[in-house]
Amino acid sequence: KRANELAELKSKQLNDTQLQLINSARLSSLGMMASGVAHEINNPLTIISGRARLISKLAEMPNTDINKLKDYAENIIATVDKVTKVVKSMRLLARDGTRDGFRLVSLENIINSALDVSREKLKNNNVNIQLDPIPELQIKCREVQLGQVLINLINNSFDAIATLNEKWIQIKF
């Protein structure tokens, strides 16, 4: 009886340790993703701030070119849309998807969500993404988990080429 109790205790401790390791890995991955998002969002915010300041200055000047103001405003709108897209992708990919059911998801949506989170970091480090045309395919999967795997693969690829002169990541189908 005592041996069974000890075996159950060890099994519970092992299970608890495994859960702690999984949570630790998830937090580490989330930290890396948060760093990528900071890069993804910082540049667009700089663009928005700069364009808004230009609009403000131009609005005070006589004979201001309305078309120039309109171009700046459209640039701000496009940049806000980009940030919104990145945040949406992050919210989707950062959550725990282990309990999600399998469902049909567009391969293009999965790839684009993963790239949305990584694109600015790669661009800022002069990494060229070579992306083959994405097949029009629906995959039965857990979208969040597959997206997290793709982000990890992209991050691992980034780490592997960080010291190279010619940096590129190719995604083929």
Residue entry with tokens 């988990």 = 145
State phi, psi for 94 to the nearest 5 degrees: -85, -15
pLDDT digits (tens, 9 = 90+) for 129-168: 999 999 999 999 988 888 888 888 998 899 999 899 999 9
For residue 153, give Cα distances in angstroms to 8, 79, 105, 157, 163.
37, 27, 19, 6, 17
Percent over 70 (pLDDT), the chain: 84
pLDDT greater at residue 128 or residue 35: 128
Read off the pLDDT of residues 48-63 as tens digits, 9 standing for 90 and up: 888 898 888 888 888 8
**According to the model, what pLDDT value does residue 121 have?**
81
d(C-alpha 68, C-alpha 43), whole Å: 22
Residue 108 has pLDDT above 90, yes or no: yes
Task: Indicate the average pLDDT of the chain.
Answer: 83
